Structure 1
Amino acid sequence: MTPAPKTPDIIAVVVTFNRRALLERVLDALRVTPDLAEIVVVDNASTDGTTQWLASGVVADGVPVHAVTLSENLGGAGGFHEGLRLALERGADLVWLMDDDGVPVEGCLATLLEHDYDFWGPAVLAEQDPSRLCFPIRLPGRSQVVHAMADVESAAATNGGVLDDIVIPFNGVLVTRQLAEEIGLPREEFFIWGDDHEYRLRAEKAGARIATVVDAHFLHPATDDLGTPMAFGRTTYNHTPSDLKHYCMARNNVVNLRDYRGWLFVLAFVLKTLWFYAFTRPSAHRIRLSAEGIRAGLRNDFSGHRRFLQ
């Protein structure tokens, strides 16, 4: 008799920082999720009582939780670097990655597991309005980005409910042990912004099978001004009110474009940034900050964001 195939060990990784209430919410959802072997929580040196709460054993019921607290805040990039490393070390065949402010809808993991990819995830919906995407995407064969879930469902209808070659990492995405061992861990020096995109680009370069499963849903608060229209509506810009996020975005985006797309794309990003903060949202401060981030990216200097953490 042929032995039944081994059920993969799936470990969820949650990265958290100073959002205990949101962490409790996502853990409540994960602890009752079938097929999960364990939950790894990476606490980025929180100061709001999260560390003490995790240490108290409050999260002992349901799927077991393994919590680690870092000695300093390493951002989402450092958190996912450590979380993925720990999950692999603890025997995961599949790792389910997410931040503390997102939450999988019931059945999300089961729907993802109906498909066989290397790096795949759910549709990430705006929690305030689940008829819209939280993060706008550009569909295959289209020049403009889309926000409406109806557009996504229509595009996936002819492909079994799947959008190939598109995924929003690290929001409820699954990554196989084989792929993680092949391409390595997220770049912890990025701190925040662009580390998830870089990981997808690395997976893409390695020939990984990437997809979004449209019927699997993951809720995430719609924040900042991602996808702000500019240039008379011809394109969008990922504006954020946070100087920390913007600095890291400018720096890390330059690194990603240089390493994976080429210098013409770097130039296009520089010009787009200048246009946005000169005409769309005029701000001399943001032009200066953008220049600092871009210069740091060109120099591979990943230390400048720390001044925002003081």
Structure 2
Amino acid sequence: MMQNKPKNRVAAVVVTYNRLELLKKCVASLQEQTAPCDVLIVDNASTDETSQWLKLQTSIAFRNTGSNLGGAGGFNYGMRWAVEAGYDYVWVMDDDTLPKTNALERLLDADEILKGNYGWLSSVALWTDGSECRMNRQKLKKNNCEYGSLLKDGLVQAEQATFVSLFLPAEKICRFGLPIKEFFLWGDDIEYTRRIAVRGNMMGYVVRSSQVVHATRNNMGSNVARDSIERVERYFYSFRNEVYLYRQEGFKGRMHCAVKRCQDFFRIVCYGKPKGIRFRVLFCGIRAGWSFSPEVEYLEKYTKRMLTENMEKQGN
């Protein structure tokens, strides 16, 4: 049996990098939840005053990764930490996520309704003005009729979601592995949620009554043609990672990816200024994606332990 099991069943894993003021607001929101959770902060080697502030906190746990692992590496690190620490559930988010007071309680209600028969749960993400946050829009399953009875409970089946308030049992992390840390930025959450819901056939759900505010600078979403020039280089990771992702989903996935990249091409033609660097990032990312082959990490030791515990629970 698991030893030294945490008092609270849920670990809220927050990845942060050089955004101390937003981190403070995120932590305050987590500490005000109507359902208790432990707060685990993964500091991606921030160079501002984040480390000094964290050292003064007595009600939260934190670890410094020693180098900037990117969002993907940070979530890989944090989810591993939470599972190895013995938490039953892991609730992940960025440092600019501000959960409403009952967000976690509503996720736990959904877990109870579904009796654990799901891959992950995702909150509704709003922007700072109360409108939908475009970059965190989940991809819903086209046909929800089969599970129409759940609609009355505000549960909608979905195939992909982001790491802005994603909730899942530790057992699912053991079964499906960790986020791919080599993604570094962009697409790690889409690959992970699709790995579970689409390729793993363990459906995810949007919990409409669970809401968070995603305090991004704007609500435009990501667009390589219109984004500011200082951010364009980051899109390399998006294009590379998406090519890898949809390679895993056969012909249909590859065609979907091809259509998306054609859309990016024509957006740059129509709106991109300057165009040269945007085309370079697009083509370099696509080319890199065809040879990009990272391996999924599994927590074998803890997977065996989880299976043993589940068998014991069923025997009681």
Deviation beyond 6 Å, 4+ runs, structure 1: none
Taking structure 1 as the reference length, the TM-score comes to 0.79
Residue 94 and residue 239 in structure 1: after superposition, are their counterparts in 2 closer, same or farther (change >3 A)? Answer: farther
Give the Cα separation in 2 of the matches to 1:80 and 1:156: 33
Q: How many residues align?
A: 271
* Cα shift at 1:114: 0.8
Q: What residue number does 2:195 align with? A: 202
Is 1:267 matched up with 2:258?
Answer: yes
Gaps of at least 5 residues in structure 1 are: 1-6, 143-154, 229-236, 303-310
Q: Please say if residues 225 and 272 of structure 2, whose CA atoms lie closer than 8 Å, have aligned partners that are also in contact.
A: no
**Structure holding more helix per residue:** 2
Is 1:78 matched up with 2:76?
Answer: no
Residue 273 and residue 131 in structure 1: after superposition, are their counterparts in 2 closer, same or farther (change >3 A)? Answer: closer
Secondary structure, aligned partner of 2:74: helix
Give the Cα separation in 2 of the matches to 1:271 and 1:134: 21
Which structure would you say has the larger RCO, counting Cα contacts within 8 Å and 6 or more residues apart?
2
- Match for residue 246 of structure 2 among 257, 272, 282: 257
Q: What residue number does 1:232 align with? A: none
Give the Cα separation in 1 of the matches to 2:76 and 2:51: 19
Secondary structure, aligned partner of 1:115: helix
**Structure holding more strand per residue:** 1
Give the Cα separation in 1 of the matches to 2:140 and 2:225: 17
Please give the root-mean-square deviation of Cα atoms over the aligned residues, in Å: 2.6
Q: 5 Å matches for 1:146-157?
A: none
Q: Please say if residues 272 and 278 of structure 2, whose CA atoms lie closer than 8 Å, have aligned partners that are also in contact.
A: no
Give the Cα separation in 2 of the matches to 1:137 and 1:238: 23
Give the Cα separation in 2 of the matches to 1:238 and 1:190: 22
Give the Cα separation in 1 of the matches to 2:22 and 2:285: 30
Secondary structure, aligned partner of 1:208: coil
Residue 68 and residue 212 in structure 1: after superposition, are their counterparts in 2 closer, same or farther (change >3 A)? Answer: same
Secondary structure, aligned partner of 1:123: strand
Q: Please say if residues 15 and 43 of structure 2, whose CA atoms lie closer than 8 Å, have aligned partners that are also in contact.
A: yes
Q: Please say if residues 123 and 212 of structure 1, whose CA atoms lie closer than 8 Å, have aligned partners that are also in contact.
A: yes
Give the Cα separation in 2 of the matches to 1:122 and 1:255: 26
* Cα shift at 1:187: 0.4
Q: What residue number does 1:234 align with? A: none
Taking structure 2 as the reference length, the TM-score comes to 0.78
Give, as a single letter, the amino acid of the residue that structure 1 aligns with 2:62.
Answer: A
- Match for residue 294 of structure 1 among 286, 293, 313: 286
What is the percent sequence identity of the aligned residues? 29
Give the Cα separation in 2 of the matches to 1:176 and 1:238: 38
CA offsets per residue over residues 128-175 of structure 1, 9 Å max, x none? Answer: x21323434555549xxxxxxxxxxxx999442121125532111111
Give the Cα separation in 2 of the matches to 1:73 and 1:286: 25
Q: Please say if residues 156 and 214 of structure 1, whose CA atoms lie closer than 8 Å, have aligned partners that are also in contact.
A: no
Residue 201 and residue 225 in structure 1: after superposition, are their counterparts in 2 closer, same or farther (change >3 A)? Answer: same
Give the Cα separation in 1 of the matches to 2:127 and 2:207: 16
